[in-house]
Amino acid sequence: MPNSIVSIRDVVKEYSLGKVVVPALRGVSLEVERGEFISIAGPSGSGKTTLLNLIGCVDTATRGTVEVAGKNTSALSERQLTQLRLDTLGFIFQSFNLVAVLTVFQNVELPLLLQNKLGSGERKKRVMELLTAVGIDTHAQHRPSELSGGQRQRVAIARALVTEPQIVLADEPTANLDSATGEAIIDLMKDLNQKKGITFIFSTHDHRVMKHADSVVRLADGKIIGKESADAAVQAALTSAAGRSPVGAH
Amino acid sequence: MTFLIAFRSLLQHKRRTFVLGAAVAFVTVVMLTLLGIAEGMNRTLIESSTTLMSGHVNVAGFYKVTAGQAAPVVTHYKQVVEVIRQAVPELKYIAQRGRGWAKITSDGGTNKMFGLTGIDVKNEKGLAAVLKIKEGKLEDLAKPGSIMLFEDQARDLEVKVGDALTIQAPTPRGVNNTLDVTVVAIANNMGMMSQFSSFINEASLRQLYQLNDETTGALMIYMGTTDLVQLKKVEDKLREALGKSGYQILEEDPRAFFFKFENVTREAWTGQKLDITNWRDEVNFVSWTVDLMNALAFFLAFVFLSVVGIGIMIVMWISIRERTREIGTLRAIGMQRGRVMRMFLAEGFLLGVLSTTAGALFGLVLAVVINGADVTLPQGFQFILMSDHLKVVPTVAWTLVAVVFITAVITGISLLPSFIAARLKPVTAMQHVG
Ligand SMILES: Nc1ncnc2c1ncn2[C@@H]1O[C@H](COP(=O)(O)OP(=O)(O)OP(=O)(O)O)[C@@H](O)[C@H]1O
Ligand SMILES: [Mg+2]
């Protein structure tokens, strides 16, 4: 499929804990189109993080193929995977994961320095543009510890976008934020998705967050049980919440 | 940026960094102080050896009438001087001094073997500046039959200024000759060297060995440098030139002349052989103390560094455990392993550079304080350190060596933790608490 930016076929991921083999994904296939704003939903332990890690090239599948931006990740070396992450992917983490000893500006500039493509003037311009876009330009010289959770996640979004990646991955980006801030963050991501056409794949427990997605991939017990519209997914989540009461949600 | 992260991370843990840095600085101070003491010894050694018993380069030798009897002389020395001047035109000046190794007996019956240097005291300005005369007058060595002793020699022989001594030595003709002399001066000890040498009126020394005007003990060549690499070249030139002029030359033997009698008298040859040495050879019997001091400096630095190194390793280990998520994040967003490794090495390197530099500054201050405090050394140390006062001479070269050496060791130590950090998986970025 030429238009797929992520293509996952029959992927199995098993973790071995000593002699015990824990299956995290049991035969998952998924195509993600360019420019999609897609959410991965499912109860705790269903394999959301595992799936995002495979797409993010920070982990490898036990069986099956994972293609990211046209590249089969199992055929790449550690070095090439790192380069792929740097050039093609952006990461937004649940706990923000900013470098504490660097300023907001330096945190956002870091991926550009790793790429080593732009001069300092261009870097500065790009960083400030993004900080303005996420509404944090006035705090450029602050340290992350001086910011609120929502502000830190904005910085993290700017860092994820600064290299103009094709895909941005976010594992529960709103889990450490209150719901109003969480929604604002999702709105911001959505806005950037529409303006820049970047593919966003994020996981969440929260149906208020889920409802902003173009479509929702629902996982249960390591299997995809459906890809549907946001409204249908929210409905399903509410039903399952009444019955099962998900663990670990916000 | 990796350097910036390394630097700021060090600052982030001020107390930890300070404790480690202070330990590294302490090692630097110890090492530099010991090296400074060794350098002080070395300077004293150079100064006293080149005034008391050696030129920068010497042409001396032995004359044997029979195989078993050797006199430390150069016969027909004026011809030798000609060859030297032609081979080494850049020399500053040549001094000639008589040499001897003799048994000296006091009226009380005690005796001692030590070296005699025959001097013309009027031409020995340098000597007057270096020797500290305790009793009597150095100028009195102008009188025939006079001798100057060092303090310890006078004590062992139980003599004072004005007392008589009998000197006994074998002449080149193979008979033992004796000479009566009077002690005219007693000088303060100059470390170990004062055990082995004394000064005697030159004419009297000639008389003792029954030498003519054509014969001297050693030609001491002053080159205006004490640098051994340069002096070695001069020695080689002299060996070649003198060899070509038909002189027999002894094999290189880096020892003082009075240690060579045993070998020389065991060999079968007779007649004249020349011996070419430098100042360091002539004080070889004491210069090992300088080497020992230098070795001690490196050894202690090594021992302390091992302890400090283990501390640094543990602390870096802890720091990497604490920063697992940060490292994972950097890996996830696209930092290559090598760069992570360099980042942690940079931390070790920065810690090393900053604290050794601080240590070097402290070391300098300490050197100034020690030299200013005029610390008198106990007897045993005076003997080994060749000075009655503790003297620390810091040099740029040794300071650089210490700073580079310790920094390299600290950076080396951080290699293992850095490697471990670089192996951390990017997935660790996703692991979160709570
Ligand atoms: N490193 C690991 N070692 C062993 N088992 C693991 C590991 N990571 C995940 N698992 C297991 O794999 C399964 C899927 O985990 P995963 O973290 O992908 O779920 P999740 O949907 O992200 O859950 P949550 O909503 O709690 O974040 C779970 O059973 C989990 O226990
Ligand atoms: Mg998860």
Average pLDDT for chain B: 89
**Cβ contact B429–A91 (<8 Å):** yes
Q: What is the pLDDT of residues A156-192, one digit of tens each?
A: 999 999 999 999 999 999 888 888 888 888 998 898 8
Q: Which among A110-124, B103-117, B247-261 has the top mean pLDDT?
A: A110-124
**A182, A157, A180: which is closest to A168 by C-alpha?**
A157
* Ligand having the closest approach to the CA of A219: 1
Interface test with A, best of B2, B319, B333, B427 (most A CBs within 10 A): B333
Residues 240-299 of chain B with CB under 8 A from chain A are none
Residue from the list B4, B333, B430 with its beta carbon closest to the beta carbon of A86: B333
From ligand 1's centre to the CA of A49, what distance in Å? 7
Question: How many angstroms separate the Cα of B357 from the Cα of each of A91, B15, B192?
Answer: 41, 19, 35
- The CA distance from A59 to the nearest CA of chain B, in Å, is 7
Alpha carbon distance A201, A71 (integer Å): 18
| Residue bearing tokens 């004394």 | B198
Looking at residue A30, its pLDDT comes to: 95
> Which ligand 1 atom lies nearest to the CA of residue A17?
4
Whether A111 contacts chain B with CB within 8 A? yes
From ligand 2's centre to the CA of A27, what distance in Å? 18
Whether A86 contacts chain B with CB within 8 A? yes
Tokens coding B406: 């310790």
Mean pLDDT in residue range B271-292: 88
Interface test with B, best of A15, A50, A58 (most B CBs within 10 A): A58
Residues 289-328 of chain B with CB under 8 A from chain A are 325-326
Mean pLDDT in residue range B362-378: 91
A182 lines ligand 1 (CB under 6 A): no
Is residue B175 very low, low, confident or very high in pLDDT (cuts 50, 70, 90)?
confident
Greater model confidence, B164 or B1: B164
Whether A138 contacts chain B with CB within 8 A? no
Report the complex ipTM. Answer: 0.91
Residue from the list B9, B425, B429 with its beta carbon closest to the beta carbon of A93: B429
Alpha carbon distance B68, B390 (integer Å): 44
- The CA distance from B298 to the nearest CA of chain A, in Å, is 37
Interface test with A, best of B350, B424, B430 (most A CBs within 10 A): B430
Over 90: is that where the pLDDT of B99 sits?
Answer: no
One digit per residue, the tens of pLDDT, for chain A of length 250 reads 457 899 999 999 999 888 899 999 999 999 999 999 999 999 899 999 999 999 999 999 999 999 999 999 999 999 999 999 999 999 999 999 999 999 999 999 999 999 999 999 999 999 999 999 899 999 999 999 999 999 999 999 999 999 999 999 999 998 888 888 888 889 988 988 999 899 999 998 888 888 889 999 999 999 999 888 777 777 776 776 555 544 444 4
Q: Which among A179-183, B232-236, B262-266, B381-385 has the top mean pLDDT?
A: B232-236
Burial of A250 (0-12, 13-18, 19+ CB in 10 A): middle
Q: What is the pLDDT of residues B298-326, one digit of tens each?
A: 899 899 989 999 999 999 999 999 999 99
Looking at residue A249, its pLDDT comes to: 42
A21 lines ligand 1 (CB under 6 A): no
Pick left, alpha or beta for residue A69 (phi over 0 → left; psi -120 to 50 → alpha; otherwise beta): left
Q: Which residues of A touch B5 (CB under 8 A)?
A: 99, 101-102
Looking at residue A2, its pLDDT comes to: 55
Q: What is the pLDDT of residues B51-92, one digit of tens each?
A: 778 899 999 999 988 888 888 899 999 999 999 999 999 998
Q: Which of A12, A13, A15 to mutate to test the pocket of ligand 1 (most atoms within 8 A of CB)?
A: A15
> Which ligand 1 atom lies nearest to the CA of residue A13?
12
Tokens coding A115: 């790429």
Whether A240 contacts chain B with CB within 8 A? no
Contact of B109 with B159, CB cutoff 8 Å: no
* Ligand having the closest approach to the CA of B430: 2
Whether B396 contacts chain A with CB within 8 A? no
Contact of A210 with A88, CB cutoff 8 Å: no
Burial of B391 (0-12, 13-18, 19+ CB in 10 A): buried
Over 90: is that where the pLDDT of B389 sits?
Answer: no
Domain ranges of chain B: 2-47+286-430, 55-282
Q: Which residues of B touch A102 (CB under 8 A)?
A: 1, 4-5, 8
Burial of B93 (0-12, 13-18, 19+ CB in 10 A): exposed
In 3-state terms, what secondary structure has residue B375?
Answer: coil
Looking at residue A199, its pLDDT comes to: 95
Q: What is the pLDDT of residues B6-31, one digit of tens each?
A: 888 888 888 999 999 999 999 999 99
Alpha carbon distance B385, A192 (integer Å): 77
Tokens coding B402: 């210490």
Q: Which residues of A touch B331 (CB under 8 A)?
A: 58, 82
From ligand 1's centre to the CA of A48, what distance in Å? 8
Looking at residue A247, its pLDDT comes to: 46
Contact of A82 with A89, CB cutoff 8 Å: no
Looking at residue B427, its pLDDT comes to: 87
Greater model confidence, B114 or A103: A103
Q: Which residues of B touch A47 (CB under 8 A)?
A: none
**A29, A54, A160: which is closest to A97 by C-alpha?**
A160
**Cβ contact B1–A115 (<8 Å):** no
Looking at residue A242, its pLDDT comes to: 56
**Cβ contact A106–B9 (<8 Å):** no
* Ligand having the closest approach to the CA of A171: 2
Q: Which of A44, A174, A217 to mutate to test the pocket of ligand 1 (most atoms within 8 A of CB)?
A: A44
**Cβ contact A91–B333 (<8 Å):** yes
Burial of B267 (0-12, 13-18, 19+ CB in 10 A): middle
Q: Which residues of A touch B335 (CB under 8 A)?
A: 82, 86, 114
Looking at residue B288, its pLDDT comes to: 83
Looking at residue A246, its pLDDT comes to: 47
Over 80: is that where the pLDDT of B434 sits?
Answer: no
Looking at residue A97, its pLDDT comes to: 93
Over 60: is that where the pLDDT of B432 sits?
Answer: no
Residue from the list B8, B333, B339 with its beta carbon closest to the beta carbon of A111: B333
